[in-house]
Amino acid sequence: MKELLTPRKLVIRVASAGLALVAVMLVCSLIGAESVSLKAAFYGAGAPGAVNPDYEIFVKVRLPRVILATIVGAALACSGVVFQALLRNPLADPYILGISSGAGLGTIIAVLSGFSWTLWGRSPIAVFAFVGALGTVWLVWFIGRLAGKLHVTGLLLAGVVVNAFFSAVIMFLISVAKSEKVHATIFWLMGNMIEEDFFALWIGGGCVLGGILALFNISPQLNALSFGEDDAKSIGVNTARTQTIAFAIAAFITAVAVSLSGLIGFVGLIVPHGVRLVFGPDHRQLFPLSSIMGAIFLVVADTLARTIVAPAQLPVGVVTAIVGGPFFLALLVKYSRKVSWLA
Amino acid sequence: MSGIIEVEHLSFGYTFQSTILKDISFEVKAGTFLAIVGPNGAGKTTLLNLLCGLLRPEAGSIRIDAARIKSYSVKELAQIIAVVRQEFVPVFDFTVTEVVSMARTPYLGTFGFESKTDREIVDEALKATDTAQFAPRSLGTLSGGERQRVFIARALAQNTPILLLDEPTSFLDLKHQVGIYDLLKAAQLEKGKTIVAVTHDINLAAQYCDVTLLLGGTELSHAAPQSQNATQARSNYRVGKTKDVFSPEQIEQVFGVRVFAGNVGQEKFFIPLGKFAKDIRQIDNKPAGCQPK
Amino acid sequence: MNKWLALSLIILCWMAAGFAIFGFQQDQNRNDTPLPTQADRIISMAPNLTEILFALGLDDEIVGVTLGSDYPSATGKKTKVGTFWQPNIEAVIAAKPDLVITLGFDQQRNLAARLKRIGYNSLILDIEKVSELFEATKIIGAATGKQREANELVSDITTKLNKLSALVSTNGRVKVLWVVQREPLRVAGRDTFVNEMIELAGGENAIEPTMHKYPPIGAEQVIACKPDVIIEPAMDQKDPVGQQANALQYWSKFENVPAVMNKRIYVIAGDTVSRLGPRLYEGTETIAQCLRPELFAD
């Protein structure tokens, strides 16, 4: 915006956005294929044998799902901001450096190997997806560093190569796998919101929250990085340290998001742009506001996904693309003068 | 912090085979306006990048205020040296105020917000560069000249004793060229900043800069006889008071082009003479006579 | 560095609080709860399970079925709880079931796990083979208090199948190619319930044992395996005559295959051969009619 960001302005904006988020969460947890009334839910669980379906659905299905959407939406949006900043590229999204194919590979391996043990109640798919995502992105980072000084280009190329290679491996594995298992994998990868237990939500939420706060800490440095590494160094930014920290955090929270809900696209790409168009590119604002907007976006998208074709459900990734695309185009047209890379 | 730069026996090459700078030594006293002039490829920008710590010398040392550059952390160095390079528009469009405020990054408080002092410094810098009226506008909406002034404002807002500039007036019109040099001269005289500017414009350098480093000039006679041995070869350069370094002979030798040298009052000027220049009789100039360090 | 330390402490406290409040959340319901012996509100998550429940006389107790459950017609009136692939857990809960029955493959196992996590009992049954069908029927019978009906149903089907086997066990099995998908070409392999039905009907699979249950094959395998009969389950339930003609035309390009030369290409309508359920006998009989039409000439 016109004036410089002050703590007061930031707090006001974040607080308002936060309130909006809470309101959206509440409203969306009351919308669904089945009608649920809040009043009825308040009557509690009911005795065994005469359970209160409003309570059951609201507390055990809706709320966890809405909270999950909040966490995943926030994580993906923040991660999108980071990758766009590090790669200085408006087309970057959280999956650009191999996270998607890494998660996919992890998932397929988990399904095919038939592991049935669980880690703290997390299914093996989630664990393998997490490991796959994180491992792959570090592989890309490592290869990119080897490529030398032209850091950004090296990273992008490494990402392309790794994505291509892992996708080929995935297709090979799919072709030799039994068909029902493959079906399950594909569904999972398309993005699914199911009710996680509150422990997983708490821990996952904590990871994402911590990531957002840490990224806020290095926001001024990321602002400077927009001008290139040389320029940023002249302003006193330790570029190697900033890039590594930002990258590590973004990779981690994306891996958490993917392990919780599969691959959901578009959120990490367009939410940062939307926030930038309205509020400006200052990262101190981008991180908190993108997280909240990302959360709102995904909660709404998920609500649509589970109500439009009820009693069936659309994969959430479909809705984010269909809803997100036109919405973003409208925003772009309205603010087109602000966008330098369009000019 | 006074802003003294001492370069001793500096050598640098981008690869093992090529050496751009060989055994260069000079000193820039505090509060001096130094111009670095020379033909393309002589290593001016490389030297600038060495001076601001972006590149590491192969041999020799660079000291800032008597401490080697290596000993400063990135943040500490940013509080001593500010650099202005070619203006450009980054992918994400910040406003002028935001851009200039980024200079305060090494000084920000715990939560990363600018303090009142920071804002005042930013305002001053905007005023000094006559860019205050652009403050709320985004960088992409300005002209090249206006943007270059914004980048200079950012360097000023960094409040450093040393200012390094890489061809700050390359694409600017006359008015802005002069305007920027006036600005830099004012910073030198009023604030005591040490300014090092790489420039192609020898006339402006002659007008504004007290000291010049001419990269690619001939060696004058030294106390030690010039050795024929290749390993002891050094870069051709001359450094000294501008009026001494800029002689027609030197300029012709370094740039490979005939010049017409003249005086207007106390100011010297040089006009290059190409093949189609009309015949002009040259006025004899005093031979240059300053020892390199 | 201070703010990083502070941040780490905050996160650590958050995580510790999480562990304190929620514990490790190992599946507390990991211990197998005993199977019920009586159920008043049953939800079936697969069409063949629905058929079994109806066959056991549990039509009143069924409170939810999936969208694909279309037999018998009484299912039309039942609440739908999503599809076979995408179950709607809210609809399941809203129907207040005391027993949810699912199949055993991953997608449905996930649903059962989710339901278990929120406290609903599910019965997970693998029905991939005929023997498993019988076993599942008996388990359902035991869980719903219909053991007698279950045993009767199983022995009824078994008897009919035995009679059929005796009828068709002349020498020489008919080689059958069972095509489930045309492009890319996929057939039913030997490790499927379809294969069992084929064998019960006096045939044998033209395809050798394969790694996949429904392997994709190429045109050369079609020619090499020399099937006497090609059977395709119908794409949809309309216009069986048209589909038959279409199939004949499609396969005519394999002119040297015995099935094509003798025009023994059959499109079987209905779900009796696509689902492993109580209409197993009807399906097997239909197949036998294709393989040995002369035996059923009356």
Domains within chain A, CATH numbers bracketed: 63-342 (1.10.3470.10)
- Contact with chain C for residue B229, Cβ under 8 A: no
CA–CA separation, B49 vs B152, rounded Å?
17
CA–CA separation, A75 vs A295, rounded Å?
8
Q: Which pLDDT does position B223 carry in this prediction?
A: 35
CA–CA separation, B252 vs B246, rounded Å?
10
Q: Which of A72-86, B242-256, C21-35, C208-222 has the lowest mean pLDDT?
A: C21-35
Q: Which pLDDT does position A302 carry in this prediction?
A: 92
> What's the pLDDT band for B286 if we cut at 50, 70, 90?
very low
Q: Which residues of B23-46 are buried (b: 16+ CB within 10 A; e: fewer)?
A: bbbbebeebbbbbbbbeeebbbbb
B contact residues 267-286, partner A, Cβ 8 Å cutoff: none
- Between A196 and A132, name the one with better pLDDT: A132
pLDDT at A178 over 90: no
Nearest-neighbour CA in chain A from C181: distance (Å): 13
Q: Which pLDDT does position B264 carry in this prediction?
A: 84
CA–CA separation, A303 vs A68, rounded Å?
12
**In Å, how far are A189, C29, C67, C131 from A314, measured between CA atoms?**
13, 30, 15, 36
| Chain C environment of A181 (Cβ under 8 Å) | 106
> What's the pLDDT band for B283 if we cut at 50, 70, 90?
very low
What amino acid is encoded at A76 in this protein? L
CA–CA separation, A125 vs A135, rounded Å?
15
Quote the percentage of chain C above a pLDDT of 90. Answer: 20
**Could you tell me how far CA A286 lies from the centroid of its own chain?**
15
Which residues make Cβ contacts (< 8 Å) with residue C229, sequence separation at least 6? C174, C175, C176, C177, C203, C259, C264, C265, C266, C290, C291
Nearest CA in chain B to C6: B110
> What stretch of H or E contains B135?
none
Q: Which pLDDT does position A80 carry in this prediction?
A: 96
pLDDT at C86 over 90: no
Quote the percentage of chain A above a pLDDT of 70. Answer: 89
- Short-list A239, A235, A202, CA closest to A218: A239
- Average pLDDT in the B248-268 region? 83
Q: Which pLDDT does position B289 carry in this prediction?
A: 39
> What stretch of H or E contains B270?
strand B267-273
> What's the pLDDT band for A288 if we cut at 50, 70, 90?
very high
Q: Are A70 and A264 in contact (CB under 8 A)?
A: no
A contact residues 39-98, partner C, Cβ 8 Å cutoff: 49, 51, 53, 56-57, 60-62
Q: Which pLDDT does position C271 carry in this prediction?
A: 81
- Average pLDDT in the C25-39 region? 61
Q: Which of C167-176, C191-200, C212-221, C272-281 has the lowest mean pLDDT?
A: C167-176
Mean predicted lDDT score pLDDT of chain A = 85
Q: Which of A12-26, A242-256, C16-30, C123-137 has the lowest mean pLDDT?
A: C16-30
- Short-list C70, C72, C77, CA closest to C56: C72
**Under an 8 A CB cutoff, do C3 and A217 touch?**
yes
Q: Which of B76, B90, B103 sits opposite A235 (nearest CB)?
A: B103
Q: Which of A48-57, C207-216, C253-262, C283-292 has the lowest mean pLDDT?
A: A48-57
Q: Which pLDDT does position B229 carry in this prediction?
A: 40
Which residues make Cβ contacts (< 8 Å) with residue B209, sequence separation at least 6? B33, B34, B35, B197, B242
Q: Are B129 and B183 in contact (CB under 8 A)?
A: yes
Mapped onto helix, strand or coil, the DSSP state of residue B171 is coil
Nearest CA in chain C to B112: C3
- Between A261 and A125, name the one with better pLDDT: A261
C contact residues 2-21, partner B, Cβ 8 Å cutoff: 2-3
**In Å, how far are A143, A250, C13 from A243, measured between CA atoms?**
15, 10, 27
Mean predicted lDDT score pLDDT of chain C = 85
- Between A79 and A89, name the one with better pLDDT: A79
Nearest CA in chain C to A35: C94
- Short-list B80, B74, B24, CA closest to B47: B24
Residue B216, phi-psi category: left (phi > 0), alpha (psi -120 to 50), beta (remainder): left
Q: Report the CATH fold assignment for B5-244.
A: Rossmann fold (3.40.50)
Task: Give the bridge partners for C231, in sequence order.
Answer: C178, C266
Nearest-neighbour CA in chain A from C253: distance (Å): 27
Please say whether the dihedral angle defined by the alpha carbons of residues C27, C28, C29 and C30, taken in this order, is positive or negative: positive
**Tens-digit pLDDT profile for residues B176-210:** 888 889 989 998 999 899 999 999 888 888 889 99
> What's the pLDDT band for A299 if we cut at 50, 70, 90?
very high
A contact residues 223-262, partner B, Cβ 8 Å cutoff: 223-224, 226-228, 230-231, 233-238
Task: Give the bridge partners for C211, in sequence order.
Answer: none
CA–CA separation, B214 vs B251, rounded Å?
9
> What stretch of H or E contains B259?
strand B258-264
| Chain A environment of B74 (Cβ under 8 Å) | 233, 236-238
Tokens representing residue A19 in the block:
């309130």
Q: Which of B10-19, B156-165, B274-283 has the lowest mean pLDDT?
A: B274-283
**Tens-digit pLDDT profile for residues C38-59:** 888 899 999 989 999 999 988 8
CA–CA separation, A294 vs A275, rounded Å?
10
**Tens-digit pLDDT profile for residues C231-252:** 988 877 777 788 888 888 888 8
φ, ψ of residue A2 to 5 degrees: the values are: -75, -45
Q: Which of A267-276, B250-259, B272-281, C147-156 has the lowest mean pLDDT?
A: B272-281
pLDDT at C170 over 60: yes
**Tens-digit pLDDT profile for residues A100-121:** 889 888 888 887 777 665 555 5
pLDDT at A186 over 90: no
**Could you tell me how far CA A39 lies from the centroid of its own chain?**
33
> What's the pLDDT band for B284 if we cut at 50, 70, 90?
very low
CA–CA separation, C120 vs C116, rounded Å?
5
Q: Are A8 and A283 in contact (CB under 8 A)?
A: no
Are C35-153 and C171-296 equal in CATH topology? yes
Mapped onto helix, strand or coil, the DSSP state of residue A208 is helix
- Average pLDDT in the B108-115 region? 85
A contact residues 53-92, partner B, Cβ 8 Å cutoff: 84-85, 88-90
> What's the pLDDT band for A48 if we cut at 50, 70, 90?
low
**Tens-digit pLDDT profile for residues C177-198:** 999 888 888 899 998 899 999 9
| Chain B environment of A280 (Cβ under 8 Å) | 94-95, 98
Q: Where are the domains of chain C?
A: 35-153, 171-296
| Chain B environment of A5 (Cβ under 8 Å) | 113
| Chain A environment of C82 (Cβ under 8 Å) | 311-313
Q: Are C225 and C185 in contact (CB under 8 A)?
A: no
Nearest CA in chain B to A86: B91
> What's the pLDDT band for A59 if we cut at 50, 70, 90?
confident
Q: Which pLDDT does position A90 carry in this prediction?
A: 84
- Average pLDDT in the B59-86 region? 91
> What's the pLDDT band for C159 if we cut at 50, 70, 90?
very high
Interface residue of B49, B79, B87, B92 to substitute, partner A, most A CBs within 10 Å: B92
Q: Which pLDDT does position C153 carry in this prediction?
A: 92
Please give the full DSSP string across A225-239, using - where no structure is assigned. Answer: HTT-HHHHHHTT--H
**Tens-digit pLDDT profile for residues C194-231:** 999 998 888 899 999 988 888 888 888 888 898 999 99
Mean predicted lDDT score pLDDT of chain B = 83
pLDDT at A232 over 90: yes
Nearest-neighbour CA in chain B from C8: distance (Å): 16
Rg of chain B taking only CA atoms, in angstroms: 20
| Chain C environment of A60 (Cβ under 8 Å) | 93, 118-119
**Tens-digit pLDDT profile for residues B7-44:** 888 888 888 777 788 888 989 999 999 999 988 888 88
> What's the pLDDT band for B225 if we cut at 50, 70, 90?
very low
CA–CA separation, C35 vs C38, rounded Å?
9
**Under an 8 A CB cutoff, do A88 and B108 touch?**
no
Q: Report the CATH fold assignment for C171-296.
A: Rossmann fold (3.40.50)
Please give the full DSSP string across chain C, using - where no structure is assigned. Answer: -HHHHHHHHHHHHHHHHHHHHHTT---GGGSPPPPPS--SSEEE-SHHHHHHHHHTT-TTTEEEE-TT--SSGGGGGSPB-B-SSSB-HHHHHHT--SEEEEESSHHHHHHHHHHHHTT--EEEE--SSHHHHHHHHHHHHHHHT-HHHHHHHHHHHHHHHHHHHHHH--SSPEEEEEEEETTTTEE--TTSHHHHHHHHTTEEESSPP-SSSS-B--HHHHHHT--SEEEEE-SSSS-HHHHHHHHHHHHTT-TTSHHHHTT-EEEE-SGGGTS-STTHHHHHHHHHHHH-GGGG--
Q: Which pLDDT does position B222 carry in this prediction?
A: 38
pLDDT at C34 over 70: no
Quote the percentage of chain B above a pLDDT of 70. Answer: 88
- Between A138 and B234, name the one with better pLDDT: A138
pLDDT at A47 over 80: no
Strand B258-264 vs strand B237-241: parallel, antiparallel, or unpaired?
unpaired
**Tens-digit pLDDT profile for residues B59-68:** 889 999 989 9
Quote the percentage of chain C above a pLDDT of 70. Answer: 94
- Average pLDDT in the A223-228 region? 92
CA–CA separation, C64 vs B7, rounded Å?
85
Please state which architecture CATH assigns to domain C35-153.
3-Layer(aba) Sandwich (3.40)
Q: Which pLDDT does position B231 carry in this prediction?
A: 42
Please say whether the dihedral angle defined by the alpha carbons of residues A181, A184, A189 and A195, taken in this order, is positive or negative: negative
Give the up-direction half-sphere exposure of residue A116: CA atoms within 13 A in the CB hemisphere: 4
Q: Which pLDDT does position A180 carry in this prediction?
A: 65
- Short-list C53, C52, C80, C55, CA closest to C65: C80
Residue A132, phi-psi category: left (phi > 0), alpha (psi -120 to 50), beta (remainder): alpha
> What's the pLDDT band for B228 if we cut at 50, 70, 90?
very low
**Residue B225 preceded by cis peptide, ω within 30:** no
Q: Which pLDDT does position C247 carry in this prediction?
A: 86
Task: Give the bridge partners for A119, in sequence order.
Answer: A122
Tokens representing residue C240 in the block:
């069986």
Give the highest mean pLDDT range of A44-53, A107-116, A253-262.
Answer: A253-262
